[in-house]
Amino acid sequence: MFTILVADSISEEGLLPLSEMENAAIIQKKTTDQEVNLEIIDALLVRSATKVNEKLLNKMPNLKIIARAGVGVDNIEVEAATRRGIVVINAPDGNTISTAEHTFAMMASMMRNIPQAHQTVKNLEWKRNHFLGTELYGKTLGIIGMGRIGTEIAKRSKAFGMTIKVYDPFLTKDRASKLGVESCEIDGVLEEADIITVHTPLTAETKGIINEQALRKTKKGVFFLNCARGGIIDEQALAKYIGIGHVAGAALDVFETEPPGENPLLKFDNVIVTPHLGASTKEAQLNVSIQVAKEVRLFLENNPVSNSINLPAISKDIFDKIRPFHHISKQMGYILSQCINEGIHELTITYSGTVAELETSYLTKATLAGFFKNRIAVNVNEVNALLTAKERGITVGEKISADAYGYANCITITAKGEENSFVIRGSYIENYGPRIVFLNGFNIDFLPEGNLLYIQHMDRPGVIGRVGKILGDHSINIATMQVGRKEAGGEAIMVLTFDNPLEDDIMALLTKLEDIVSINRMTV
């Protein structure tokens, strides 16, 4: 049973994909509500009100996924979630249309002084001559950030007869041509645009991208819009340039601090503002809710998600192809970790055969997740696997090899420690399942599932019999046994599986047997 906490207001219709799950319990309460047991929460759904910080995450040890019903994740400490292996998802396109429409409405209102004129009529005044506007037709619109919303703005602007110049370092010339926009450097936008609107996420690179230095390059009489994220435009610099008459006006839906309080921009009549309404339509609120609810359900049902902030997106078709290899990768990583009982400084995963043609980076993360299981206290999965390895000084490498050792596909993992190294090789065989086919120099063949016992011993007469006798004397049934050796009388191994885990006293007896080098038990 999964427990899902909906901490901010989301309609029942928006939560329908989750409420239809038979194995999910939905709680709609604040995270601060004393009735909520945060320790059992598997999934957390929020809008912008709930602040998901380190302090809150420390209280939610079972949390697996955070879903933001909206685009921005400013209220979520993504890095802290990533360290804990918690997936963070959002709804990047659920409010695309609503934000684009709001931006365009703000643009038209700013250019025609609609809010100011509206207020005078409400005050029983009739000041037609005070509100001489500016047409959109024939103007150059500069768009900084050509994602989903910027693209929708461009489409609407073209219908109004505007020329569009775009700055986006990731926009290809081919796509720009198809959209009918001119791609240029940011200085080109600043110097030539009559109106500039920003549509980038708020990052270290975009914070204050419109600053005093940028404003100096703009035309006198330029207009600015920000319906994206507060902080992209330096508010103090913008206020200065409006005050000296260089910037003709601004339309702002977002602020660096919300509510903005004593913000100097609010003192200007030619600045129109709204209280972060870009996504505030009935349609958008429902769309983003349904989108993240579907994603959370997919995740809880062990399917890939499309809109993760901290996990590479992978389509269902691709995931279905790698699913069997994903499973064996985790199993191999875990077995390897139990077989080399020392610190590791290097892990190399080599793919060969048909698996080499798939999304191997995802499989590498799965291998690391299995390797760190029970080795460290932190929960490790595909989200934080590489970060965890880096923090522990482990170099992780991927290789592609032409040698599949006679199998259709093959995954080989090599671990290098301070004193020793260990190699494990596995394959997924159609209609037969996952198999471990090589353990540190020994050819072998066993199913990596259940309660396993890995014994390294010398190839001497009676060793296997003595192991069997101890198990038989204690009424322990051996489900399967696989053996391997390098040469007669030399090193050898046996891998046994059982219906139940072996008790400590049995392990102690086996360890004392003559010619036993080492014993590892594990449940895979």
pLDDT tens-digit readout, 122-139: 999 999 989 999 999 999
For residue 300, give every residue at least 6 positions away whose Cβ sits within 8 Å of its Cβ, in sequence order, or none. 2, 21, 24, 42, 43, 64, 65
pLDDT in tens, 405-441: 999 999 999 999 888 899 999 999 988 899 999 999 8
- Cα torsion at 204, 208, 213, 214 (round to 10°)? 100
DSSP state of 93: T
22 lies in a domain?
yes
Q: 377 pLDDT exceeds 70?
A: no
Strand order across the beta sheet in which 491-498 lies: 478-485, 491-498, 451-458, 516-523
Out of 202-206, 285-289, 425-429, 510-514, least confident range: 202-206
Residues 129 and 221 both lie in one domain: yes
| 244 vs 280: which has the higher pLDDT | 244
Distance (Å, whole) CA 66 – CA 363: 23
**Catalytic site positions:** 229, 258, 276
Q: 336 pLDDT exceeds 80?
A: yes
Residues 507 and 391 both lie in one domain: yes
Residues 248 and 388 both lie in one domain: no
Mean pLDDT score of the chain? 92
Range of the domain at 52: 2-91+284-300
Angle at 239 between CA 237 and CA 243, to 5 degrees: 120
Distance (Å, whole) CA 509 – CA 244: 87
| 380 vs 483: which has the higher pLDDT | 483
Q: What is the CATH number of the domain that holds 41?
A: 3.40.50.720
Residues 116 and 237 both lie in one domain: yes
507 lies in a domain?
yes
CA distances from 203 to 47, 68, 200, 228, 382 (A): 19, 17, 9, 12, 24
User: 3-state class of 489 per DSSP?
Assistant: coil
Residue 382 binned pLDDT confidence (cut-offs 50, 70, 90) = confident
Residues 498 and 403 both lie in one domain: yes
Q: 72 pLDDT exceeds 80?
A: no
Instruction: Say whether pTM exceeds 0.85.
Output: no
Tell me what pLDDT residue 36 has.
93
Distance (Å, whole) CA 290 – CA 11: 9
Residues 100 and 85 both lie in one domain: no
Tell me what pLDDT residue 414 has.
96
Contact 415, 381 (CB under 8 A): no
pLDDT in tens, 214-240: 999 999 999 999 999 999 999 999 999
pLDDT in tens, 452-474: 999 999 999 999 999 999 999 99
Q: What is the CATH number of the domain that holds 325?
A: 3.30.1330.90
Taking residues 285-292, what's their average pLDDT? 92
308 lies in a domain?
no
pLDDT in tens, 341-373: 778 889 999 999 999 999 899 899 999 999 988
Residues 265 and 375 both lie in one domain: no
Residues 265 and 322 both lie in one domain: no
Residues 57 and 102 both lie in one domain: no
Residues 60 and 115 both lie in one domain: no
Q: How many CB atoms lie within 10 A of CB 383?
A: 26
Domain total for the chain? 3
